[in-house]
Amino acid sequence: MSNVIKIKTALISVYHKDKLEPIIQKLTELGIKLISTGGTKSFIEELGYEVSAVEDLTSYPSILGGRVKTLHPKVFGGILARRSLISDQEELKQYEIPAIDMVIVDLYPFEETVASGSDHASVIEKIDIGGISLIRAAAKNYKDVLIVSGQQQYTKLLELLNENSGEITIDERKHFAAEAFNLSSHYDMHIFNYFNTSEDIPSFKISETKGRVLRYGENPHQKGMFFGDFDAIFEKIHGKEISYNNLLDIDAAVNLISDFKETTFAVLKHNNACGLASRPKLIDAWTDALAGDPISAFGGILITNTKLNYETAVEINKLFYEAIIAPAYDTDALEVLKQKKNRIILIHKEINLPVKLHRSVLNGTLVQDKDIKTETVEDMEPATTKVPTDTEYADLEFANKIVKHSKSNTIVLAKNNQLIASGVGQTSRIDALKHAIEKAKSFNFDLNGTVMSSDAFFPFADSVEIAGKAGITAVIQPGGSIRDKESIEYCNSHNIAMVFTGIRHFKH
């Protein structure tokens, strides 16, 4: 068998007709016979090109409202017949089946139909049967057939047709076949997940068809890739290539800022907030966020939920940082920020993020619901005689949002809607608390009147004792320890307010 085939007959059946005209024109110029179905055939005829109907080949009309058009031995026989196998060729001759050398398909838009919120009946009708079957058949027989499985391949197909006058090599056919199976598996994954929304079938399926090679992984000796549609979430308008670690920090930043509605600025380092403040004016939010830890802010990721103005840009331009994220930028602010050629500048688009999280563990994958619970004052149950003041309640809610997005074990100290300090990623809650207190004092914060949030309950009273001696006046925690009573008694005897939420926020 020759490694090169000359295309003589092409079957075309597509949902989207745009971008198809140049292909039809070129195939006609090369003298390739066209066979098509329904709407695609009408489209080709309207362009003024000659095309045969699949019905003329099969001697059967399209039936069942278009559900059955190409599912016929005279179609699939012509695609699946092995050119090098004499018995296959004899059967084609016996049953008068023409060989089909190329198949062009564009599937029903199932994924888009689901995303649009269409009703169940409409979704079901967008499950492609004939098209997906054509793709699999042609891809399986790539040694003899070229499969073009979607619009994304039209440009490459035209290049091949122009360069080689319809002659396609085995390597090119195999590459197109691999892309076809990639598309078909992705398509089937979405169908399965649509039917398995209740998760009655314990099967984990995910498919990302967009990927990019990163400079390296977490460290230079590790390879790294990102799979996903980054451009759906961000518009990158300046800066160097985004790294593996940048992506981790950007993900943490976007999830953190999503819990804040008022004007807020945050600084993150290694996936944790090292500075965060909410203020009526953006410049004040930036100033107080930076004050939380101006040392750790160096080389960090900055994010705000408000349009970035010139005044704030001038101030943050004084700091070295990896990336800045905002929903929009004033023109003069961008001129300032772009002064550093490597600085990554991102516009954060409005988009719903996935509500499922997964990570590889051992020889498998862990999957869980995303922690989307954000407690408000109504969720706080006073556990002590003293009840928090309105100001303390506001700070408790503020601190608890930050603790939810910090690595466990974690303690967050806050005051007047400002992150004073945090202790994150510690092996004991006491160490996390001590670290937070020490850090706050090193930046000359007055801890009197500060509130404390913990991601999990206190197993002993020692944490509230240390906090009380440092000047902390209100505490928020899940509660649930068998020794909660000891912490409550200490708080009652030292005029500390404490509330329980019943919600733990571990993050590992």
DSSP sequence for 322-352: EEEEES-B-HHHHHHHTTSTT-EEEEEP--P
Cis peptide before 409 (omega within 30 of 0): yes
pTM for the model: 0.86
* The predicted structure's pLDDT at residue 56: 83
Phi, psi of 117 (to 5 degrees): 85, 20
Q: Is 270 a catalytic residue?
A: yes
In order of 270, 300, 320, the CA distances from 325 in angstroms are: 16, 12, 14
Do the Cβ atoms of 296 and 274 come closer than 8 Å? Answer: yes
**What sign for the dihedral angle of Cα 27, 32, 33, 36?**
negative
Amino acid at 376: T
Secondary structure, 3-state, 447-477? CCCEEEEECCCCCCCHHHHHHHHHCEEEEEE
First-to-last C-alpha distance (Å) of the chain: 56
For 244, residues 6+ apart whose C-beta sits below 8 A from its C-beta are 214, 215, 216, 217, 218, 224, 226
Q: Is 140 a catalytic residue?
A: yes
7-59: pLDDT as tens digits: 999 999 999 998 999 999 999 999 999 999 888 999 999 999 999 988 888 88
Secondary structure, 3-state, 39-66? HHHHHHHHCCCCCEEHHHHHCCCCEHHH
* The predicted structure's pLDDT at residue 1: 43
Give the separation between CA 105 and CA 75, rounded to whole angstroms: 14
Cβ-based neighbour number of residue 3 at 10 Å: 11
* The predicted structure's pLDDT at residue 164: 86
E strand map for 228-336: 234-238, 264-269, 272-278, 300-304, 321-326
Q: Name residues of the chain where pLDDT drops below 50.
A: 1
Selected catalytic residue, list 8, 26, 33, 140: 140
- 68 pairs with which residues across the strands? 63
Give the separation between CA 29 and CA 52, rounded to whole angstroms: 16
Selected catalytic residue, list 143, 270, 434, 494: 270
* The predicted structure's pLDDT at residue 2: 55
81-135: pLDDT as tens digits: 998 889 999 989 998 999 999 999 999 999 999 989 999 999 999 999 999 999 9
Phi, psi of 207 (to 5 degrees): -145, 125
User: What's the burial of 10, exposed, middle or buried (CB within 10 Å: 0-12/13-18/19+)?
Assistant: buried
Do the Cβ atoms of 309 and 330 come closer than 8 Å? Answer: yes
* The predicted structure's pLDDT at residue 274: 96
